[in-house]
Amino acid sequence: MSYYLELYNISIDYYQNNLKTSDLLPSRNILKENIENIFKKIKDQKIQNLNELLNQLKDKKKLQNFSKQTGIAEEYLTILVREIKSIQPKPNNFIDFPNVSKNIVSKLEKHGIKNTLQLFDQVLTKKDRKELAIEIGINEIEILRLTKLTDLSRIRWVNHTFAYVLLEANYDTVEKVANADYRKLYDDVKNLNAERKIYKGNIGLHDMKLCVESAKNLSLDIKF
């Protein structure tokens, strides 16, 4: 069980095939260009999974050396690193959620819980949540709400505001987002925001499609 997709579990071959069929952000479509040749060069370096690849590209000097060794352009490798890192989104801090009170944030922090990653392992089952609610001193309904925000925060590109929006739109778990029709999800979120003005700007139809596709890749570790 893991908050993230573990990079060492994603083989280079699997990732190559996944990239070829994925609907990427427009700025990252370059990753599909000449992909067979580029990934052959990566595999020629005896790199077997994404964790090993990221270690080879983790700073500018290493990336430049890898580019010289393989003949893969630095621009391509830089974008590839961004795409790989986005598989493991930064956890959301509870203090940033619009529906979590300062009192609850304070109680969580006293138990060393500041963000969704730190809560994840402690709320996997109903029994876990009940015990934590007693320990922290908040009710089980609130613990369940925090758990759902944590689950949604595992999805790529879902920040604290969007996790709250998904929750309020009744797409309150990874499983529900994964099973959603992205067009209906788009309409539901758009209508909710038109009514309640939760966020400024616009979440596009393509963004919603990426959200659903990302949710499909996550394991359903939390038992509701």
Higher pLDDT, 23 or 125: 125
Could you give the CA distance from residue 106 to residue 111 in angstroms, rounded to a whole number? 9
Share of the chain above pLDDT 90, in %: 87
Structure token digits, residue 122: 């402690």
- List Cβ neighbours of 10 (8 Å cut-off, separation of 6 or more): 49, 50, 87
Quick check: 34 pLDDT over 70?
A: yes
**Cβ–Cβ < 8 Å for 133, 143:** yes
- In this prediction, residues 122-151 reach a mean pLDDT of 97
- pLDDT bracket for residue 1 (50, 70, 90): low
Instruction: Name the average pLDDT for the chain.
Output: 95
Query: Does pLDDT of 24 surpass 90?
Result: no
Band (pLDDT 50/70/90 cuts) for residue 50 is: very high
Q: How confident is the model at residue 26 (pLDDT cuts 50, 70, 90)?
A: confident
pTM comes to 0.87
In contact, 16 and 39? CB cutoff 8 Å: yes
* pLDDT band (50, 70, 90) for residue 23: confident
The mean per-residue pLDDT over the stretch 146-167 comes to: 96
Alpha helices in the chain (DSSP H): 12-21, 35-43, 50-56, 60-70, 74-85, 102-110, 116-120, 126-136, 140-153, 160-168, 174-178, 182-196, 205-216
* Position 5 confidence tier, pLDDT thresholds 50, 70, 90: confident
Q: Please determine, for residue 133, whether its predicted confidence score (pLDDT) is greater than 80.
A: yes
| pLDDT at residue 22, rounded to an integer | 84
Residue 108 burial class via C-beta count within 10 angstroms: exposed 0-12, middle 13-18, buried 19 and up: buried
Rounded-to-integer distance, Cα 152 and Cα 146, Å: 10
